[in-house]
Structure 1
C-alpha cells in the first residue's frame, strides 16, 4: 500500500508483486525507523513481465560495505522491458541503509548505548524483538521477501579489509541449487552446509532455492565483477525461461570444493600476503607473514593442504584472530 512519496517515488510498507500490473515499478520500501524517528527506506525496482513465470528476487548490500551488487543490479535492470520478461524480477540495490550510510557491514542502532548487528545472521528476525535489528530483519522477511520469491540471489562481497574472487556459497544438497550454481560464471564454488540466520539458509528452510554470490572486494565497483555477476543473473533467468537467450559461462570453469579453512592471525602485526586470489597452493606453501613495526618477521603461515586461495586480507594491519587467507579444497 502506498503511504507516502519520497522524491516523487511511492513509499510502501508492504510489497506484493501479485497486485502489480505488468510494467516497471519503483518504490521505496519502509522498514521501520531510526531512534530519531526517521524512516529506513530501501530502494525497490520491480520489473513485472507481460507473461506469467517465476519470481526471482535479487538483493544487494545487506552488508553495507559490500556495494558491488548495486552495480550488478543496475546493469541487469538497464534495458530489460516487461515485454521481454516472463514472471517477476524484484531488485533491491541497497538492503541496509544504515550500513550503507556508514560504509559498514553492520546495521547500527541506538539502544541503551550504540549497537551493531550483522543482519545476515539474524534472519528471519522477530517483529517483537527487544532490539531494532531483529525487528528490521523481520520486516524485510515478512513484508518484503514473503510471497515474492521462487528463487533468491543474495549479492555480497568480502568485508572491509579483505577480498574474494567471484565466489559462491551454495548448499548443493538442494537439487535446484545444485542445478542453478552450474550457471554462475564464478571462480570458486563452495558446497555450503549453511549457517542459521543467513538469508540463504533461512530461504532454503522455507523451501526457496537460494544462492549467496560473493562478487569480489568491498567498497568498489569492479567492471569485470559487474559483467560476470549480471551474466549469472541472465543465465538463471534464461534457464528459468524468464527471458530468451543462451546461457554464457564467459569461458570460466569454476573450481568446486567442500572444505573452506580460514587462516587467522596468531598475533597482532603487519601482514604480508604471499599469494593471490584464486591461486593454487600446495600443502606447506607460505601464505603470509606478520612483521613487527621494525619489519622483523614474527609469524609465518603455511597452507594446511593443497587448494585454491578463496580470500585474502587487503588491509596489512591485522589484529589477533583477524583473517589472513582462506583456502578452498
Structure 2
C-alpha cells in the first residue's frame, strides 16, 4: 500500500491423512463476486482431513482491496486513482510497476503454483451484469474437460478467453485449471452455489482426494457447450427491456431486447445474429452506448481466440 503496509490473503488448508494430489481453489480475484467466495468456503467446510488423500488449499480473498469496497477492480494509487482488473495481471511480476501486478506475482510464484496439481478459480458475473451457472474451460485439454464436465450446470464456454486470467496462468504452467461462473455479483445465490459445491466435490473425487460416488454431472442436466460468446452491445442510452431470459434458447434474427429513451420512445431494438443460448444479460436497467446488453453462447465452426465473455 502507499502507507507501506501489506495486503494479506486468507488461506485455508485441508491436509489429508494420506498422500495424494493437491488441489487449489481460489475466489475473490474480483471484489464484487460474493457467491464465488461462499462456494469455496462451503467446500472447505465439508472436508474432513481424516477421510482425505491429498490436500486442498483455498484462497478466498485474492484481491483484498477490491473486496474491502465490494467493487470489481483493485484501486491502484500509482498515478492517481486507477482501477485495475486483477484478472488481467496473471501470472504477475514480483518486481512489476503496479501493486496488483506485484501482488499477483507473489501469490502465483510463492503460494498458488507451488501447491497445485490442478486448480479451480471461481467467479461470478460483474456488477450490473448477470450470468447463468456455467464454466469457462479449454475443452481441448483432456484433464480440463474431465473436470468441467463434472458440474451439474447448464452451460460450458469452451474457450481459452483472455490472456492474463488466473486459470490460464495455471494452464501455461502445466497445471489443469478452469473457471466456474456463479450467477450475479454482490449477492449470494445459494441455489447456484449448491450446484458448484456438488461439482467441486465431484472433481475432488475424480482426483482421489475424496472417496465415494459422484453426484450429478453436466450429462445429467443436458449441458450445452458453446465455443463462442456473441456480445450484443447497446447503440443508444436509455432503459433496457429484455425479451428473453437467461438460459433461453434463441434463433438467428430473434429480437432479444428493446431500449427506450426518457420519453418512453423505442430508440433501439436488438437481435441475435446467431442461434444459441442466453448466457449473460445486463441487470442494470439503464445503460450507456457500447455496454454489453447480452451474451449469446453458441458454437462456431472456426472459433476466434480471445473472445469477449461475460465474466
TM-score, length basis structure 2: 0.92
Task: Give every structure 1 segment of 4 or more consecutive aligned residues whose post-TM-superposition deviation is greater than 4 Å.
Answer: none
Kept in 2: contact 1:194–1:200 (CA 8 A) = no
Q: Which residue of 1 aligns with 2:11?
A: 44
Residue 115 of structure 1 corresponds to 82
C-alpha deviation, 1:194, in angstroms: 3.2
CA distance in 1, matches of 2:178, 2:265: 43
Q: 1:183 to 1:79 in 2, by over 3 A?
A: closer
Q: Which residue of the other structure, out of 321, 325, 329, is the alignment partner of 2:290? A: 321
2:266 is matched with which residue? 297
Equivalence map 1:165-314=2 (5 Å): 165-249=132-216, 251-314=220-283
Match of 2:91 in 1: 124
Q: Which has a greater percent of strand? A: 1
Deviations 1:188-237 (A, max 9, x none): 10111332111111211111000110011101111111211111110001
Count of aligned pairs: 296
Asked which structure has the greater RCO (Cα within 8 Å, sep 6+), the reply is: 2
Report the RMSD for the aligned CA atoms in angstroms: 1.2
Partner SS state of residue 73, structure 1: helix
1:147 aligns with 2:114: yes
Gap runs ≥5 in structure 1: 1-33
Structure 1 residue 254: Cα displacement: 1.1
- Describe how 1:3-42 pairs up with structure 2 within 5 A: 34-42=1-9
TM-score by length of 1: 0.88
Contact 1:35 1:109 in 2 (8 A): no
Please give the secondary structure, in 1, of the residue aligned with 2:120. strand
1:84 is aligned to 2:84: no
Q: Extract unaligned runs of 5+ from structure 2.
A: 299-311
